[in-house]
Amino acid sequence: MTHDSEKSVKASLPSDQPSLIQIKAVSHAFNTGSGPLPVLDSLDLSIKKGQFTAVVGPSGCGKSTLTRLVAGLLIPDSGDVFLDGKPVKGPRSTVGMAFQNPVLLEWRSILDNVLLPLEIVPDRVPIAEHKERALGLLSLVGLAGFEDKKPSELSGGMRQRASLCRALVHKPEVLILDEPFGALDAFTREDLWQIMHELRAEEPFTTLLITHDLRESVFLADEVVVLSGRPAKAQFTLPVRIDHERTLDDLYTQQSIDMLATLRHQIQLAQGRSTGSNS
202 phi and psi angles, rounded to 5 deg: -90, -30
Report, in Å, the least distance between residue 279 CB and ligand ATP.
28
If the CB atoms of residues 199 and 269 are measured against ligand ATP, the closer one turns out to be 269
Closest CB to ligand ATP among residues 11, 210 = 210
Of 11, 26, 43, 62, which lies in the binding site for ligand ATP, with binding defined by CB under 6 A? 62
Question: Is the Cα torsion angle 111, 113, 114, 118 positive or negative in sign?
Answer: positive
Give the per-residue contact string, 34-63, with Mg ion (x = CB under 5 A; - = no). -----------------------------x
Out of 12, 27, 42, 64, the only residue in the binding site for ligand ATP (CB under 6 A) is 64
| Amino acid in the structure at residue 195 | I
Q: Contact 208/19 with Cβ under 8 angstroms?
A: no
- Which residue among 22, 51, 65, 228 contacts ligand ATP (CB under 6 A)? 65
Distances 62 to 55, 217, 250 between C-alpha atoms, Å: 10, 17, 30
Question: Out of 15, 34, 59, 254, which residue is the one contacting ligand ATP (CB under 6 A)?
Answer: 59
Choose which of 12, 27, 42, 64 interacts with Mg ion (CB under 5 A). 64
Judged by CB under 5 A, how many residues of this single chain contact Mg ion? 2
- Based on the number of CB atoms within 10 Å of its own CB, is 166 exposed (0-12), middle (13-18) or buried (19 or more)? buried
* List 37, 73, 116, 135, residue binding ligand ATP (CB under 6 A): 37
Torsion from C-alpha of 114, 159, 207, 43, nearest 10 degrees: 110
Considering the complex, what minimum distance in angstroms separates the CB of residue 61 from Mg ion? Answer: 9
As a whole number of angstroms, the distance between CA 123 and CA 5 comes to 48
174 half-sphere exposure, CB direction, 13 A CA radius = 26
Which residue ranges make up the site for ligand ATP (CB under 6 A)?
30, 32, 37, 39, 59-65
